[in-house]
Structure 1
Amino acid sequence: MRRAKAYLLVLMGVASVLLGGCSGSSKANMEEAAEQPAVVDYTCISNPESDKQIYVILKNYHGAYWEKVIDGITEAAKKLDEAVYLGGIDNETDISGQIDLMNQAMEQGADGILLAPADSNSLADSCQKVREKDIPVVLIDSSINSSEFDACYMTDNIDAGEMAAKEMLELLYDAGNSPTDPLEVGIQLSSDSSQAMVNRVSGFLNFWAGNAPEQWEIVQDIRVNGGDTKKAQSDASALLRENADIKGFFGCNNTSTVGIVNTLLKEERTDVVLVGFDLADETKQMLQNPEYHAVTVLQKQDQMGYLGMLSLNSLIKGEKSEQKYFDTGVIMVDSDYLMENAVS
């Protein structure tokens, strides 16, 4: 009974936090983005002479994660006949900028759109308008709260969140924490309006509520950094100052993870374990340091971009698929994985 109540309370709590905006940071970031638009204009990266056009709209250009996405898109573009135009936003809170890019793509005669939606609600209307013009839409990285798309290539984020919670518990035990002592885990994410982020947190909390000791809690102040590594680092430092019992951090995306890593390394907090997402150089540094306890959930984001482009090409040619969601999978990476795969 206690487990059932804990599960409901935790999920209700995170739902209210995510929908309301964590720590007020989402609203602040939105206002800042509105004052300083961060649109990356379209650039043709393949076949500019083609009369068929694919428009790619990303939700971030920062860091190793999105570089790998672009690598997959670029590799696929070499195999396609269509002209490929790459654009996006450079701040995950600039929702209006991404909507503007969707409108530009329609106006410029797009035959297909590949979209990494920054907001699962706000982009739904744009996707509907595009498909009403018989333009196929393929999503990558995250989905929308609507059926108005043709295919989606992404991580099964609920499952990945549950995997992360399982790893968190194992790391906390390995670090010598007692199940009878008070303990807290802090959570950071890049966006409170991304279905991918919400699902990762929900999966994490679902597993945690059913498996964590009674004395181990989640810090209710879930932080949102808007994809800004410096803010993620500042938030991690603040959470450590404000919550003396923190012994673990869950970083739900690459920028959150890098910010947390930078804080833990700078403050030499070897007593705090980390479960993160993706594999930036900073994260590798922590994984390779035997004084720290850390793992990271590595997504196959290059496959999201690559397979999403090939799918869009098929749709443009009139081919259809009954399946809409495609799980691109994850790999759990620790120091052993890095050594076995000669990752330096």
Structure 2
Amino acid sequence: MVGCGGPVEQGGPTGADGSKPEAGAGGVIFVGFDGSPPLVEALREGKIQGLVLQNPRRMGYLGVKTLIDHLEGRAVEPEVATGETLATPENMDDPEVAELLNPPKIDHGSDASLAGQKQKRWRVMVIPKGTTHEFWQTIHFGAKTAADEMDAEILWKGPQKEDDRQQQIELVQNAIALGVDGIVLAPLDARALVGPVEQAVARGIPVVIIDSALNSDTPVSYVATDNYNGGVLAARRMGALMGGKGRAILLRYAVGSASTEQREQGFLDTMASEFPEVEFVSKDQYAGATAATALEKSQQLVTRYRGQADAIFAPNESSTFGMLRALEGAGMLKSGAP
């Protein structure tokens, strides 16, 4: 990175004349998680060197399908993996990667009415973590596709922000009061949503968890990315590009978010075991629930550690976007795809 101010300590790379370059000289190595049009554009321009992609369409589809399979008496797996893929400037035009970088989406305004009698055999409430990230629009697309195939209707309701635990709790309670046939939930917090989910199950309403784990054994199934492995993929990309040496920053997402905590742990474990000469100058700062809070925290980190870090990892869409904008504003990104 023009460095995210001091020189690299011993063990870092040397220039052609044997001198030690400033950390991050030539632009920061930046690896993120999830895709949106600005992130995909930055990947193509070589400003981002890697994006770990989930398959939200498949996650939404299998979340609803697994729930309806259970409602109709078919056996379901307790855990269903939806896959994770590393996209790079080099492979982003491969058909299977390109499909993940440009997934179908649906407007959240549809499927939002809680009024009226159900029109199909099954009525399912789908409750995402939030409604601002494009990731959830693709989850929504997959969920509706499954519902349309299986004689079901979905009610789609989520918090405006991904830190509004109380609103998500109230949405689960609303689903119970409505007497829906089942709930598909992406819990904001692995602990805070346990009580409402167990209340739903006690009332005979089965729950499938998607995206982020819940500390309870009452849900029917857990449908998600292998988030730990997503962190592993990010670490291997970053560590290789760093040549196994230098300084790095991890910008965490939010306390209590099981999915991103698993990514962060997979990333840190892999960096420690496979790239032990990489030193972290910061790994305890949190981006927060929105791109705005992520930008603010990223700007603070960029200012504080300018010239002291060679690489950065951000573990979800909003933290990646916020850091991208901060690095762009500071003129610290690489440019030009390989």
TM-score by length of 2: 0.62
Deviations 1:269-291 (A, max 9, x none): 136xxxxxxxxxxxxxxxxx526
Give the gaps of 5 or more residues in structure 2: 1-108
Deviation at 1:218, TM superposition (A): 4.7
Tell me if 1:229 matches 2:275: no
Corresponding residue number in structure 2 for 1:241: 303
Corresponding residue number in structure 1 for 2:224: 154
Q: Which runs of 4+ in 1 moved over 3 A?
A: 44-48
- The separation in 2 between residues aligned to 1:162 and 1:47, in whole angstroms, is 46
**Counterpart of 1:211 in structure 2: which amino acid?**
E
Corresponding residue number in structure 1 for 2:201: 131
Whether the 8 Å CA contact 2:188–2:257 is kept in 1: the answer is yes
Q: Percent identity?
A: 25
**Counterpart of 1:158 in structure 2: which amino acid?**
Y
Deviations 1:287-306 (A, max 9, x none): xx526xxxxxxxxxxxxxxx
Tell me if 1:97 matches 2:159: no
Deviation at 1:48, TM superposition (A): 4.1
Whether the 8 Å CA contact 1:48–1:84 is kept in 2: the answer is no
Corresponding residue number in structure 1 for 2:28: none
Deviation at 1:101, TM superposition (A): 0.6
Corresponding residue number in structure 2 for 1:206: 269
Deviation at 1:119, TM superposition (A): 0.5
Whether the 8 Å CA contact 1:189–1:224 is kept in 2: the answer is yes
Whether the 8 Å CA contact 2:194–2:215 is kept in 1: the answer is yes
Whether the 8 Å CA contact 1:92–1:191 is kept in 2: the answer is no
Deviation at 1:47, TM superposition (A): 9.0
More helix by share: 1
Corresponding residue number in structure 1 for 2:152: 82
Deviation at 1:158, TM superposition (A): 1.0
Higher relative contact order at CA 8 Å, sep ≥6: structure 1 or structure 2?
2
Instruction: Out of 249-258 and 234-243, give the one that drifted further.
Output: 234-243
User: Are residues 130 and 220 of structure 1, via their aligned partners in 2, closer, same or farther at CA, if it must alter by over 3 Å?
Assistant: same
Task: Report the RMSD for the aligned CA atoms in angstroms.
Answer: 2.4
Corresponding residue number in structure 2 for 1:107: 177
Whether the 8 Å CA contact 2:123–2:182 is kept in 1: the answer is yes
Deviation at 1:189, TM superposition (A): 3.4
Matches within 5 A, 1:310-321: none
Whether the 8 Å CA contact 2:127–2:186 is kept in 1: the answer is yes
Deviation at 1:234, TM superposition (A): 1.8
- The separation in 2 between residues aligned to 1:194 and 1:148, in whole angstroms, is 19
**Counterpart of 2:336 in structure 1: which amino acid?**
P
Corresponding residue number in structure 2 for 1:306: none
Corresponding residue number in structure 1 for 2:336: 290
**Counterpart of 1:124 in structure 2: which amino acid?**
V
- The separation in 2 between residues aligned to 1:69 and 1:43, in whole angstroms, is 15
Matches within 5 A, 1:1-344: 43-44=112-113, 48-50=118-120, 52-173=122-243, 179=245, 183-214=246-277, 216-226=279-289, 228-244=290-306, 245-270=308-333, 289-290=335-336
User: Are residues 73 and 207 of structure 1, via their aligned partners in 2, closer, same or farther at CA, if it must alter by over 3 Å?
Assistant: same
Whether the 8 Å CA contact 2:209–2:222 is kept in 1: the answer is yes
Instruction: Out of 212-221 and 149-158, give the one that drifted further.
Output: 212-221
**Counterpart of 2:328 in structure 1: which amino acid?**
L
Give the gaps of 5 or more residues in structure 1: 1-39, 272-288, 292-334, 336-344
Corresponding residue number in structure 1 for 2:77: none
- The separation in 2 between residues aligned to 1:91 and 1:108, in whole angstroms, is 23
Whether the 8 Å CA contact 1:225–1:232 is kept in 2: the answer is yes
- The separation in 2 between residues aligned to 1:113 and 1:215, in whole angstroms, is 43
TM-score by length of 1: 0.61
User: Are residues 113 and 41 of structure 1, via their aligned partners in 2, closer, same or farther at CA, if it must alter by over 3 Å?
Assistant: same
Instruction: Out of 103-112 and 71-80, give the one that drifted further.
Output: 71-80
- The separation in 2 between residues aligned to 1:224 and 1:157, in whole angstroms, is 18
SS at 1:84 equivalent: strand
Corresponding residue number in structure 2 for 1:28: none
**Counterpart of 1:290 in structure 2: which amino acid?**
G
- The separation in 1 between residues aligned to 2:193 and 2:151, in whole angstroms, is 28
Whether the 8 Å CA contact 1:49–1:83 is kept in 2: the answer is yes
Deviation at 1:232, TM superposition (A): 1.0
- The separation in 2 between residues aligned to 1:93 and 1:84, in whole angstroms, is 23
Whether the 8 Å CA contact 1:188–1:225 is kept in 2: the answer is no
Whether the 8 Å CA contact 2:252–2:283 is kept in 1: the answer is no
Instruction: Out of 72-81 and 114-123, give the one that drifted further.
Output: 72-81
